[in-house]
């Protein structure tokens, strides 16, 4: 039987989509797909389960509880092992600050507030104070002081929840004020996958519009995708894949002209871009200074340098924010209300977020942005001088690159073998490095560039190694439909939740 991905890659996309459901139901073809999926997952198994033969695995509660000191010793050993790469700057994004003193400070703040839960605001009014001030400080940073409108928001668990809540707010406003039964979101193809999650979660229609050659949103094409059910446009500042900043001023004008919302996803740029222009970089307007911007997301746990699990969603006006809230008045358990998807929330994360922001101050964020932007531009200029690699777009601090002469996924695997954890992209095939404070440490950027040059040379002269992510991305690129690729990704998630016993 021929290899199914290779066969399907030769079909026109429209035909491939028509037969996708049929393929899933034909037993012989299903078995063929299963074998290929299982082979790919098996090749990733060692990376997914590195502790299988080293640590005990639990599939039930131990009969007697383990000694606490023993547990702490085991966790300390794992922590020391796992922090090696990101502390040394081998990781794209993920840990954005990483200084031991900063981490120790946040851990101390967390310990002081470990029991707090803002659902019980009467017990922990300090958490209410922290969250209100986090929102106010973020809003001020993103233009609240330069508009007559009230910029309000809430603290969330991360950028995905911030985006989910904003889209739900637009959906419910569209239902109530415009009688829209199925709301439409219009977004560039580069907007975060959280918008897909929002559409799937809230039964909304997400229309993805191709970006231009500069990887920025095509405003004319987005305008053409607006219909009477459209409740929101989306722009990114910057977009995760290529670090491109969408033309937010033009999108803001379009949103106002069409009477729809504009959500700016600044989860990456919210705490960098406000300082970029004063540092001499060409950074466009992107925030509430533009009257057409009606909501924003900004991650405090990225370049806000808070502990993971903290983000902010902002709105132009309290009326739009209220559509985000949950309130239940007829539950026998009492009057229930919450501002976000969760009920109980870890107030310690909000306390740590507040502490990070107040301890950094504007001067601290400005200095961090200066270091990151300078390092990113050095890396960009150096890659531009490598003949086999091409920079995508015009990035500031998320540097994406591809190759017209090499399999870029083999370069990714070669960098992984050298200890680097980079982000693989596709459509087009590329890699990116999200530059953080870790990369500004002495020697890190040059080590990255030296290893990248060596990886390129290796790919040019040596045959492919077995395993790695190249086959996975290769299959994703070859298949003209999404369902089969999504099936593979779900199998990888299944594997993550499998308890691996020692063999």
Please state the separation of Cα 12 from the chain's center in Å: 31
Identify the structural domains of the chain with CATH numbers, from first to last.
117-357 (3.40.640.10)
**Other beta carbons less than 10 A from residue 491's beta carbon:** 14
In this predicted structure, what is the pLDDT of residue 130?
A: 99
CA pseudo-torsion sign 211, 215, 220, 222: positive
**Nearest in space to 449 (alpha carbons), one of 400, 378, 499, 395:** 378
Q: What is the DSSP letter of 95?
A: -
| β strands within 368-493, DSSP E | 390-391, 398-402, 423-425, 430-434
Q: How far apart are CA 471 and CA 3, in angstroms?
A: 13
Please give the angle made by the CA atoms of 161, 166 and 168, to the nearest 5 degrees: 95
**Nearest in space to 401 (alpha carbons), one of 452, 461, 473, 477:** 452
In this predicted structure, what is the pLDDT of residue 19?
A: 55
Q: How far apart are the first and last CA of the chain?
A: 33
**Nearest in space to 38 (alpha carbons), one of 503, 409, 495:** 495
In this predicted structure, what is the pLDDT of residue 48?
A: 84
Considering only the C-alpha atoms of the chain, give the largest distance between any 2 of them, rounded to a whole number of Å: 70
Q: How many residues does the chain have?
A: 503
Q: How far apart are CA 188 and CA 265, in angstroms?
A: 12
Contact 434, 422 (CB under 8 A): no
Quick one: how many helices (H) and strands (E) in the chain?
17, 13
Q: What is the DSSP letter of 91?
A: B
Question: At a CB cut-off of 8 Å and minimum separation 6, what does 452 contact?
Answer: 383, 386, 389, 411, 415
**Nearest in space to 312 (alpha carbons), one of 109, 139, 116:** 139
In this predicted structure, what is the pLDDT of residue 11?
A: 46
**Other beta carbons less than 10 A from residue 463's beta carbon:** 6
Contact 307, 301 (CB under 8 A): yes
Q: How far apart are CA 438 and CA 253, in angstroms?
A: 38
**Nearest in space to 425 (alpha carbons), one of 445, 448, 398, 462:** 398
Q: What is the DSSP letter of 465?
A: P
The Cβ-side half-sphere exposure at 286, using a 13 Å CA radius, reads 31
Q: How far apart are CA 130 and CA 113, in angstroms?
A: 11
In this predicted structure, what is the pLDDT of residue 104?
A: 98
Contact 427, 478 (CB under 8 A): no
Q: How far apart are CA 413 and CA 422, in angstroms?
A: 9
- pLDDT tens series, the chain, 503 aa: 344 444 444 445 554 555 556 666 677 777 777 787 777 777 778 788 888 889 999 999 999 999 999 999 999 999 999 999 999 999 999 999 999 999 999 999 999 999 999 999 999 999 999 999 999 999 999 999 998 899 999 999 999 999 999 999 999 999 999 999 999 999 999 999 999 999 999 999 999 999 999 999 999 999 999 999 999 999 999 999 999 999 999 999 999 999 999 999 999 999 999 999 999 999 999 999 999 999 999 999 999 999 999 999 999 999 999 999 999 999 999 999 999 999 999 999 999 999 999 999 999 999 999 999 999 999 999 999 999 999 999 999 999 999 999 999 999 999 999 999 999 998 899 999 999 999 999 999 999 999 999 999 999 998 876 656 666 666 566 555 567 778 888 888 888 898 877 65
Please state the separation of Cα 60 from the chain's center in Å: 33
* Radius of gyration in angstroms for the set of CA atoms belonging to the chain, rounded to a whole number: 24
Q: How far apart are CA 488 and CA 41, in angstroms?
A: 8
Q: How far apart are CA 57 and CA 323, in angstroms?
A: 44
Q: What is the DSSP letter of 148?
A: S
Phi, psi (deg, nearest 5) at residue 399: -100, 110
Report CA dihedral (73, 76, 81, 85) to the nearest 10 degrees.
180
Q: Which two tokens stand for residue 355?
A: 């502490």
Identify the H or E element spanning 328.
strand 326-328
Q: What is the DSSP letter of 364?
A: H
Q: How far apart are CA 168 and CA 362, in angstroms?
A: 32
Contacts of 286-290 with C-beta under 8 Å, sequence gap 24+, read 286/235, 286/237, 286/245, 286/248, 287/142, 287/143, 287/237, 288/139, 288/142, 288/143, 288/144, 288/146, 288/147, 288/149, 288/151, 288/314, 288/316, 289/143, 289/146, 289/147, 290/143, 290/248, 290/249, 290/252
């Amino acid at each position: 039987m021929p290899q199914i991905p290779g066969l399907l890659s030769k079909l026109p996309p429209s035909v491939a989509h028509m037969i996708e459901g049929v393929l899933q139901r034909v037993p012989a073809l299903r078995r063929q797909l299963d074998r290929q999926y299982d082979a790919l997952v098996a090749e990733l198994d060692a990376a997914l389960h590195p502790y299988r033969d080293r640590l005990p695995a639990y599939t039930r509660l131990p009969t007697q509880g383990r000694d606490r000191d023993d547990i702490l010793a085991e966790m300390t050993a794992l922590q020391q092992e796992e922090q090696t790469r990101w502390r040394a700057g081998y990781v794209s994004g993920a840990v954005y600050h990483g200084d031991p003193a900063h981490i120790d400070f946040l851990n101390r703040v967390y310990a002081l507030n470990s029991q707090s839960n803002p659902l019980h605001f009467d017990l922990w009014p300090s958490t209410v104070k922290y969250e209100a001030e986090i929102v106010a400080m973020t809003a001020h940073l993103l233009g609240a002081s330069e508009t007559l409108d009230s910029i309000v928001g809430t603290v969330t668990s991360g950028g995905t929840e911030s985006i989910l809540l904003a889209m739900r707010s637009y959906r419910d406003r569209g239902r109530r004020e415009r009688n829209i039964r199925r709301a439409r979101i219009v977004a560039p193809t580069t907007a975060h996958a959280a918008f897909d999650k929002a559409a799937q979660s809230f039964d909304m229609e997400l229309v993805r519009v191709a970006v231009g050659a500069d990887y920025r949103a095509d405003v004319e094409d987005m305008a053409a995708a607006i219909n009477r059910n459209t409740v929101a446009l989306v722009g990114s500042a910057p977009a995760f894949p290529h670090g491109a900043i969408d033309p937010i001023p033009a999108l803001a004008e379009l949103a106002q002209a069409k009477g729809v919302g504009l959500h700016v996803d600044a989860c990456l740029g919210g705490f960098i871009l406000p300082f970029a222009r004063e540092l001499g970089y060409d950074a466009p307007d992107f925030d509430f200074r533009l009257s057409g911007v009606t909501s924003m997301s900004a991650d405090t746990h990225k370049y806000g340098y808070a502990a993971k699990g903290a983000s902010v969603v902002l709105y132009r006006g309290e009326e739009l924010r209220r559509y985000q809230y949950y309130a239940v008045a007829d539950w026998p358990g009492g009057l229930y209300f919450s501002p976000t998807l969760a009920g109980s929330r870890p107030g310690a994360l909000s306390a740590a977020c507040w502490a990070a922001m107040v301890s950094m101050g504007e001067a601290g964020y400005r200095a961090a942005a200066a270091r990151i932007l300078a390092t990113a531009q050095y890396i960009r200029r150096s890659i531009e001088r490598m003949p086999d690699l091409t920079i995508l777009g015009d990035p500031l601090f998320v540097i994406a690159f591809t190759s017209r002469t090499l399999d870029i996924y083999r370069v990714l695997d070669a960098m992984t073998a050298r200890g680097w954890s980079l982000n693989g992209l596709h459509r087009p095939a590329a890699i990116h490095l999200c530059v953080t404070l870790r990369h500004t440490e002495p020697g890190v950027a040059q080590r990255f560039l030296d290893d990248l040059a060596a990886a390129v040379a290796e790919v040019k002269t040596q045959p492919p190694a077995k395993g790695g992510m190249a086959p996975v991305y290769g299959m994703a690129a070859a298949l003209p439909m999404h369902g089969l690729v999504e099936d593979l990704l779900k199998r990888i998630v299944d594997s993550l939740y499998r308890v691996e016993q020692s063999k």
